[in-house]
Structures are given as C-alpha cells and as structure tokens.
Amino acid sequence: MLTSLSRDYPSRFGAPVISRVDRAIFRLRYFTHCMQCGFCADACCFHGVDVDVANAERILAHAPALERHVGRPAREWFTGQVERDAEFPGGAYTRTQVRDGACVFLSRRGGDRGCQLHSYALRAGLDYHDLKPIVSALFPITFGGGVLHAADEVEDGSLVCAGAGPTLYEGLRDELRYYFGLNFVEELDRLATLPPQAP
C-alpha cells in the first residue's frame, strides 16, 4: 500500500526526494546483519550497483590507496556509461563493473568478504557514506518515482536473506535517518505502527 507523506523529504544531497512510502517495508523482513550471514555468499553484490556521478568522483579521488585495497586499477571500476536521472544526487549515475561474476568492489580475498568501499573507508577513518553508494547503503530498500519501497529482489523472492529477521524498515532506519533526516524517520515510525489497511 502506497501512503503519501506529510511533505516531500529530499535526501541530504537534494535527491532523491521521497513523497510516498510503500508500507510493505514495515512488513517484509530480511536477515539484516550482512557480515554475520553465513549463507548468502554476498549474492546481493553479484550485479554491480548504480553510483551517482558525484559519488564516483569521490571514489576516484581515493584511487591510489583504493587500487591497493581493491586490487584492481581504477579504469576497471566503472562502466563509463552515464545515465541522466533526476532522482540521483547530481542528476546522473554510472554503474560499477562486474568482474569475475560480481561487483568489482566485492572483496575476493581469502576469508574476507563484503564491500571494499565500506571496509576501505573504515580503515582510513572515513565515514563510509562518503564512498558507499546510496543504493548500496539502503539495500534492500530503494527508491523510484518519489516512492520509498522494497527492492525488486525482496518482492520477487530472489533475495537469499529475505523472510526472517527485522523488517526492512527496522534494519535500515539508521541509514534512512542519515540520508533523509530525523523528521523523516519519525514520520515513518508513526506509519510503521498503523494496521496494514489504515490510510
């Protein structure tokens, strides 16, 4: 059920702007604690991810150190194709490359796993939000047409970790607060307590 919010909520970057929410995010569940998961094999990182162009520039600004961390040259990181989309910060996005069956930034080192943008930021004393794409940080919640909603992988049942654990909203409340602010999550908190059929 789509519910209109009391006002539009732009992200801290100006876009995306959320005006409605699909209340399925308060019902659908997933494992949530990615780095404690022993059954997914990082499947959500197999396909690459959309990255707004300003975010891509921030990543490339760390190229020398990131190349050592990732183990691949910067020229292999992005597809080079840019798509215009007003819902992305800066109005455009590119995409990470898929190499050897997964996102170029997925760790392949023995025993190590997860997003190397995230791990690099933590090791360098940076806020991981500065490098990790908004689409990755919010997954498996996403946005489109001004609507905050579950990612397709949750809806179609292909997300390996879907079905048990906290709700999508509970698992990502802190990320949503980071990007959209306290007033946004306070309004979502109220919606989360309503019965499913309530407007």
Per-residue pLDDT at 145 exceeds 60: yes
Rounded mean pLDDT, 67-73: 94
- Please report, for residues 43, 118, 127, 134, the alpha-carbon distance to residue 89 in angstroms, rounded to integers and kept in the order given: 26, 19, 18, 9
Bin 91: left if φ > 0, else alpha if -120 < ψ < 50, else beta: left
Q: Please report the pLDDT score of residue 37 as a whole number.
A: 46
Residue 189 pLDDT class (50, 70, 90 cuts): very high
Cα–Cα distance for residue pair 76/165, rounded to 1 Å: 36
Per-residue pLDDT at 180 exceeds 70: yes
Q: Please report the pLDDT score of residue 135 as a whole number.
A: 94
Q: CB–CB of 102/91 below 8 Å?
A: no
Rounded mean pLDDT, 146-158: 82
Could you tell me the two tokens for 47?
């396909």
Rounded mean pLDDT, 37-57: 75
pLDDT over 90, % of the chain: 71
